[in-house]
């Protein structure tokens, strides 16, 4: 069996030794280098199956090495090493084609082994697909002429799905590719587990489908899924697009069923082939092609279908990994709310949008009051910091449960929270702030079985679309209101008027 070759590039000697020791123990041939320039030279000198590359190195960055690997060794899978603070750079690396990333210090060797194994599996799949395509291209002239368009679709689907990061976009491209490559009357797919939403289904068909035919197609797909993954067919809406099949070669035999009309009774789909869109032991969806009258598919067609299913599975796995990584980069690790950085990015975009549409946006800054018997410090002092973390999580959940669906709640830092409320004027924003203050004051928080009292000082401000102001301006005004509320003893809501930039008359929260 061929020994797999792995390149390790990191400027930290300890990490190089750890990775080398582990990989050699697993039977891989390993070469280590200490900077980006050496890594690029190594990739130019000899082939590697996997390259594990530090994001920041002397000579050249990990992203530079990634780009070089795509140029000189397209089949080499690249795994990026990054620190906890560099998740955004890791997301960029995934977007540019890295297989996965590992956070330093690399202490979880099981995770390391899983990532390397999966990278090798994807490389083998890529090689296998390339070999199948080469075999198809080497077929005799007649088959080549009849299947030239199918080969084009295989290449297009691979390129389209490799660059797509949205799961629905991947499924749309995949359904169309199956329909264009296989002799069928319809192709369809169901996408499961999409961010907790209901399953989503799409079909491409030669002819208009009656409601009964749609339900029959959908029901057949659901029945093919593993029992534990089957959704209620009634909860899934099938989106159908009419497609013209690709033209056949001039000398190809006529399709006797090309003008077939929908069946009046019985099963409208006499034949259905399917493949699962899956990654390891998880099923992410199903893809099928269906015929109104059974036709024998050539082995070549079934091979093409298998390639498309495999490519779709890999693309979906990558899109889900990208979505999870991006979510980690914008969420606060303790409360699950958005973090300070994402709040400012979202607010900046919303302020610009609101100015163009002559709308207002409200910002509400919330800081928990502190005292010997209330707030985060009291819980930390009496019950410990783990209990304080629990209180922050529950307060964050309480605030998120009060705001509207389109509002954004973030943990601003420490025991301070922020709310962005689009299309919300001063009166509405103050009413929302009072509801938050009242809810926190009246709610009994049970932390490790002990009641904890919470009140908050709250500052409120709204944008003026007639002024060219940025996110910092409206946040600063809300901060002024927050500190006014604290100066008045806490448990207050203070609105800061935009014209004067001074706090308006404070109101005691009801």
pLDDT in tens, the chain (510 residues): 678 999 999 999 999 999 999 999 989 999 999 999 999 999 999 999 999 999 889 999 989 999 999 899 988 999 988 876 577 777 888 888 888 888 888 878 888 888 898 888 888 887 887 777 777 666 555 555 555 555 565 665 566 555 556 778 888 888 888 888 788 889 999 988 655 557 888 888 888 888 888 888 988 999 999 888 888 887 788 888 775 554 544 444 444 444 444 444 446 788 888 988 886 667 888 999 988 877 766 677 788 888 888 888 887 777 777 666 666 778 888 888 889 888 998 898 899 888 888 899 999 999 999 877 777 888 888 888 898 899 899 999 999 999 988 899 999 988 999 999 999 999 999 999 999 999 999 988 888 888 888 999 999 999 988 887 888 999 999 999 999 999 999 999 999 976 655 444 444 444
331: phi then psi, degrees, rounded to nearest 5: -105, 145
CATH topology of domain 139-318: Beta-Lactamase (3.30.450)
Report d(CA 504, CA 483) in Å as an integer. 12
Closest to 177 in 3D by CA, of 320, 316, 294, 311: 311
| Cα-trace Rg, the chain | 29
Contacts of residue 245, defined as CB under 8 A and 6 or more positions apart, other chains included, come to 179, 180, 183, 206
Supply the pLDDT for residue 374: 77
Write down the architecture of domain 5-123 according to CATH: 3-Layer(aba) Sandwich (3.40)
DSSP 232: P
- For the chain, what are the domain ranges? 5-123, 139-318, 340-508
Supply the pLDDT for residue 505: 40
Cα angle 350, 352, 357 (rounded to 5 degrees) comes to 90
Residue 30 has a CB neighbour count (10 Å cut-off) of: 19
pTM: 0.47
CB < 8 Å & 24+ apart, contacts of 293-297? 293/256, 293/257, 293/260, 294/270, 295/183, 295/257, 295/271, 297/182, 297/183, 297/273
Write down the architecture of domain 340-508 according to CATH: 2-Layer Sandwich (3.30)
Supply the pLDDT for residue 251: 47
Q: Write the burial class of residue 504 (CB in 10 Å: 0-12 exposed, 13-18 middle, 19+ buried).
A: middle
Contacts of residue 152, defined as CB under 8 A and 6 or more positions apart, other chains included, come to none
Could you give the 3-state DSSP secondary structure of residue 404? Answer: coil
Supply the pLDDT for residue 163: 55
Report d(CA 349, CA 332) in Å as an integer. 20
């Amino acid at each position: 069996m061929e020994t797999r070759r792995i390149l390790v590039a990191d400027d930290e000697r300890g990490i190089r030794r750890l990775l080398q020791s582990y990989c050699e123990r697993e039977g891989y041939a390993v070469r280590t280098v200490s900077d980006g320039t050496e890594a690029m030279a190594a990739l130019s000198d000899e082939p590697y199956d996997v390259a594990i590359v530090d994001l920041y190195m002397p000579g050249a960055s990990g992203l530079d090495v990634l780009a070089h690997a795509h140029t000189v060794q397209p089949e080499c899978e690249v795994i990026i090493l990054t620190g906890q603070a560099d998740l955004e750079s890791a997301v960029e690396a995934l977007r540019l084609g890295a297989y996965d990333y590992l956070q330093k210090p690399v202490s979880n060797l099981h995770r390391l082994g899983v990532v390397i194994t999966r990278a090798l599996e994807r490389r083998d799949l890529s090689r296998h697909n390339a070999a199948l395509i080469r075999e198809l291209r080497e077929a005799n002239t007649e088959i080549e002429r009849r299947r030239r368009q199918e080969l084009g679709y295989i290449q297009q689907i691979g390129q389209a799905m490799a660059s797509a990061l949205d799961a629905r976009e991947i499924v749309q491209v995949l359904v169309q590719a199956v329909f264009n490559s296989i002799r069928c009357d319809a192709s369809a797919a169901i996408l499961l587990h999409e961010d907790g939403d209901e399953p989503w289904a799409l079909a491409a068909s030669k002819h208009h489908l009656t409601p009964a035919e749609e339900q029959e197609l959908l029901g057949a797909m659901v029945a093919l899924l593993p029992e534990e993954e089957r959704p209620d067919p009634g909860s899934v809406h099938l989106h159908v697009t009419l497609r013209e099949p690709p033209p056949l070669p001039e000398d190809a035999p006529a399709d006797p069923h090309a003008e077939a009309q929908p069946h009046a009774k019985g099963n409208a789909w006499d034949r259905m082939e399917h493949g699962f869109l899956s990654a390891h032991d998880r099923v992410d969806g199903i893809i099928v092609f269906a015929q109104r009258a059974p036709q024998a598919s050539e082995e070549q067609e079934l091979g093409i279908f298998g390639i498309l299913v495999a490519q779709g599975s890999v693309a979906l796995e990558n899109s889900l990994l990208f979505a999870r990584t991006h979510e980690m980069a914008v969420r606060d690790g303790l409360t699950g709310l958005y973090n300070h950085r994402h709040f400012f990015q979202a607010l900046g975009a919303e302020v610009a949008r609101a100015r163009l549409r002559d709308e207002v946006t409200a910002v509400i800054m919330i800081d928990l009051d502190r005292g010997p018997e209330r707030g985060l410090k009291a819980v930390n002092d009496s019950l410990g910091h783990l209990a304080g973390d629990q209180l922050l999580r529950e307060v964050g959940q309480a605030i998120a449960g009060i705001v509207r669906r389109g509002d954004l709640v973030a943990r601003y830092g420490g025991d301070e929270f922020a709310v962005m409320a689009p299309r919300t004027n001063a009166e509405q924003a103050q009413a929302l702030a009072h509801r938050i203050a009242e809810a926190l004051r009246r709610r009994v928080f049970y932390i490790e079985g002990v009641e904890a009292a919470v009140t908050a000082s709250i500052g409120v401000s709204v944008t003026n679309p007639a002024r060219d102001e940025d996110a910092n301006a409206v946040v600063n005004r809300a901060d002024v209101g927050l500190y006014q509320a604290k100066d008045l003893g806490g448990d207050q809501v203070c609105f800061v008027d935009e014209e004067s930039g001074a706090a308006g008359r404070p109101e005691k929260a009801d």
